[in-house]
Every structure is written in C-alpha cells, then in structure tokens.
Amino acid sequence: MKVISGILKGRTIKGYTINGTRPTMDRVKESIFGTIQNYVKGSIVLDLFAGSGNYGIEALSNYAKFVYFNDKNKEAIKVIKSNLNNFNLEDKANILNLDYQKCLNYLKDKSIKVDLVFLDPPYDLHVLNSILEYLSLNNILNKNALVIVEYRDDNLQDKYNNLKLIKNKKYGEKKVNIYKGEYYEVE
C-alpha cells in the first residue's frame, strides 16, 4: 500500500497483512480522495475501523488537521503507531483501541466533532446502518461533514436523518457511498 497523493505521496504504508483486515485498493482510495479533495484540508477526521491507518494517513498527507484512528485489533494499533512514527505524524493523531460503538460514545461524551468519517468495517459485521443512524443523530458531525462508506452487501439508505447520499460507485464487488450532512437553519 502506498500513499497516493499529498505530501507523503509514494511512501509505503505498512500493514497490508494485518490479520482480520482488508486493505483498500489504491485505485479505490485514489477515486475517493479525488472526490473529497476539497474537504480534506484542515479537517478533523475519524477513521473508525482504521486497520493500518490507510485512510487517515492519506487524509493527513492531504493536510487534514487531525485524525482519530480507531481499531479494536491490538495488532492494527501497533501498525498505526509505527506508520505514524515513520511519517512523523504522531502529533496529528489520537489512536483509540476501542470497539466501534465505544469509540462513537467516546467522541460524543467528549463533545468531539469531525468533518470526515471513514467507515470500512469487516464486511460480515453489517453495522453500517446503525453507525450512520448514530452519526446523524448524535452531534458528532460538523456542518457539511462527509461520511465515506466502503461496503459489499449491506442495504444502505439514501438518507439517514441529516445525512444524504451524494455519490455512490461500484468497484468489482465492493461499493463506496459518500454521504454529506445537510443542515438547515431554523426560522
């Protein structure tokens, strides 16, 4: 795996063989970052099922301000720490070793808000609908936040309260949906 754009372009990300993870293909990542490039700079990012940290590191390479990396796999946490150390990015990250729901509750309880969320859980978990619902209802997302979802066979909706599907694309058996937060001023 390589960083495909930004200041770390071409650098190798360790962790391709972490047990229990499925790395995102470079062409998928390149397409996603091509779509969201105008939202990354200065953003606060959540990489909820981080694995090697591939998505979050790509965001930092493209000038994201800060990334919350979360994975419940201790091996993945070690790899993320190693990758961040390799790229001298430790001060731009908080690494959490929590179950995804505990991570979301942690962010909510600490009043942490994010601009970008990467959701790439193991395909057999089928938790995306509940996560998208939770994100849309619990004041974790900043105005106009983007949620990028990589999945295979979950039946996802076009809208979750204030999150609206703005793009979807298929790459072989995997699919990517991008949702954007819609916020309306109350008159």
Dihedral sign for Cα atoms in the order 158, 164, 169, 172: negative
69 is a domain residue? yes
187 is a domain residue? no
Work out the average pLDDT over 38-42: 97
Domain that holds residue 37: 6-154+162-181
Mean pLDDT of the chain: 92
CATH of the domain at 56: 3.40.50.150
21 is a domain residue? yes
Looking at the structure of the chain, the number of domains it has is: 1
142 is a domain residue? yes
76 is a domain residue? yes
1 is a domain residue? no
50 is a domain residue? yes
186 is a domain residue? no
pLDDT in tens, 86-128: 999 999 999 999 999 999 999 999 999 999 999 999 988 999 9
What's the CA gap between 176 and 174, in Å, rounded?
7
Is 50 exceeded by the pLDDT of residue 5?
yes
Threshold 0.75, pTM exceeds: yes
Confidence at 22, pLDDT banded by 50, 70, 90: low
118: nearest Cα among 170, 58, 183: 58
CB 118 within 8 A of CB 179: no
Confidence at 65, pLDDT banded by 50, 70, 90: very high
